[in-house]
Structure 1
């Protein structure tokens, strides 16, 4: 039975390298010529980058081939792999719908097309042979105009059957010059009853305490226990959960050793702050959620008790999980009746 939940996975970074490369070979002559050999493509696609901004450039490669026509191809394979190989019972996919619309259209036309993208992602994520609860988090973006970001928030409110929350993404170092805009967007979202998370305190350049009160969960947030542990008391009081994505910090150059996360977990547990262990970009990393668990355990970052607590926290903080217990508890009850 599927047992796990992933609260932080990007649609753009979720395509595993083999699936993406095969798509190029079959359907995209330009990219197939650019990447004729799989081994070379895998090395390029999954290698570590020096900075978060450099790492995020890879998303544009996938976004360029994810459209209304091709999304069903990618999402079916994503769901199949998540269910069979990762034992996921629950998955939140996050992305910016505007970036899946055609650049040939005007801004107004692209905004109008976003609802179609959300519907396609929602419908194709529900695969009967791979029963899993799925929902979407729509990402506002640091490099998109305010009007587009506002339309993304409105879309989240209009399509609750598919969308469970909003996010802010695009590289946390780019928020500073538009911080007031993002505060306004989060205030607006909360006023409309939309749940919230946000890429924040991922890197030393992305620490904005002004945004913290508006978030129900914190995307990454590792710099809080590492650099600003005095904030943990308030994080705990707001019942905010950190979405920690271990492999990401090595791939982006944010951390040079996974063992730094031991401080993150220990300080959060001591302060009563929940952590959900997530994949972020499972395809870019060529890493699935059970491996994230195993890696943290074998490197003595966490112990089994802490792992179980994080797994339970993921369901407790899931925005669209329809039960009051995680699946393991539901299974235990069914088997002991």
Structure 2
């Protein structure tokens, strides 16, 4: 059995449509009345949006129900599905903790409440019957004030047992007016020894080379090989990995056809830039990681050799994978050890 790593999955977009619909049926009369039958909800939840901003509005729908009380419910089902249906051995789950705190609290109280959210997510992610290594990436947000984003960075540094890195999210076209703030925050994060990624170069409006030096990985980054291939040698030298999430670009209208990603993969491979294939929002897409692989293969975007290279790169660039090798290599080592013992026993007879 193959075992995979997903380095880019949002907590808000990870809930598959049927589980979210069932939750609404039981606990949210307004949504239950709006979508009395599941097919109409699935069509609404997973359909293509015109822009990234319109697409991101769906996150607010899920964030509103991912509270201190309900997070364990959603996370357990997320992990169960990831283990049984996706064969995940490793998952980095990212989200903005501030947006899971009670809205009636003032800003200072919500900042204090973030610690509890991270602890809840961390403890709920430890499910013995589904042994997946899970770590959190805390997202700063383009629409949150500097004080909150700085508190998110400091929280990540304080809770390293649960958190492996920080990110910035909220639509890459919105960073421009506050670019100096985010550069300052990333500098601060690196000074604290935090690992870093960031939603960047996802759309043509989200290209900020000033942020690149502070990132260890790049969330999406597809506009670099598409529009700015001159930057690829710089990425290769810095060992920066792109977190490419194929279905996202169709759902947000960023790309019209999956085959457009062939240029992304080909140019990155030629330049020696690693790519990890990820899901981003597996629930919003109703597409799991093995299907992302299959879609890329069947539409001739990549070949099997490139797929294997991307799967290996995901473990190599994982922020909290505790081993030097991916799971397949570890299993092969175990099998070889067992075979050697059996051969020695036979020789001794």
| Deviation, structure 1 residue 336 | 1.3
CA deviation after TM superposition for structure 1 residue 2, in Å? 5.8
1:250 counterpart = 2:253: no
The residue matched to 1:6 in structure 2 has which SS? Answer: strand
Which 5+ residue runs of structure 2 have no aligned equivalent?
Answer: 338-349
Q: CA RMSD in A?
A: 0.6
DSSP-derived class of the 2:127 partner? coil
1:2 and 1:83 in contact (8 A); partners too: no
Q: Measure the CA separation in 2 of the matches of 1:110 and 1:133.
A: 28
SS in 1 for 2:74: helix
Alignment of 1:255-294 (within 5 A): 255-294=255-294
Q: How does 1:1-337 map to 2 (within 5 A)?
A: 1=1, 3-337=3-337
| SS of the residue 1:301 aligns to | coil
Equivalents in 2 of 1:10, 1:244: separation in Å?
A: 14
Taking the aligned partners of 1:2 and 1:230, their CA distance within structure 2 comes to 35
* Paired position in structure 1 for 2:344: none
* Residues matched between the structures, number: 337
Asked if structure 2 preserves the Cα contact closer than 8 Å seen for 1:2 and 1:89, the reply is no
Question: 3-state DSSP class of the match of 2:140?
Answer: strand
1:37 CA displacement: 1.3
For 1:335 and 1:28, locate their aligned partners in 2 and report how far apart those are by CA, in whole Å.
50
How far apart are the structure 1 equivalents of 2:37 and 2:65? Answer: 19
Using structure 2 for the length normalisation, give the TM-score.
Answer: 0.96
Larger Rg over CA atoms: 2
CA distance in 2, matches of 1:258, 1:251: 11
CA distance, structure 2, for counterparts of residue 132 and residue 41 of structure 1:
30
Q: Deviations over 1:54-79 (max 9, x none)?
A: 00000000001000000000000000
Structure 1 residue runs of 4+, over 6 Å off?
A: none
C-alpha distance in 2 between matches for 1:58 and 1:311:
29
After superposition, the C-alpha distances for 1:173-208 in whole angstroms (9 at most, x for unaligned) are: 100000000000000000000000000000000000
Give the structure-1-normalised TM-score: 0.99
Superimposed CA distance per residue, residues 274-319 of structure 1 (whole angstroms, 9 cap, x where no aligned partner): 0000000000000000000000000000000000000000000000
Contact 1:172 1:202 in 2 (8 A): yes
Contact 1:137 1:163 in 2 (8 A): yes
Residues 2/98 of structure 1: CA separation in 2 closer, same or farther (3 Å cut):
farther
**Separation in 2, partners of 1:43, 1:247:** 16
Name the structure 1 match of 2:340.
none
1:86-113 per-position Cα deviation (integer Å, ceiling 9, x unaligned):
0000000000000000110000000000
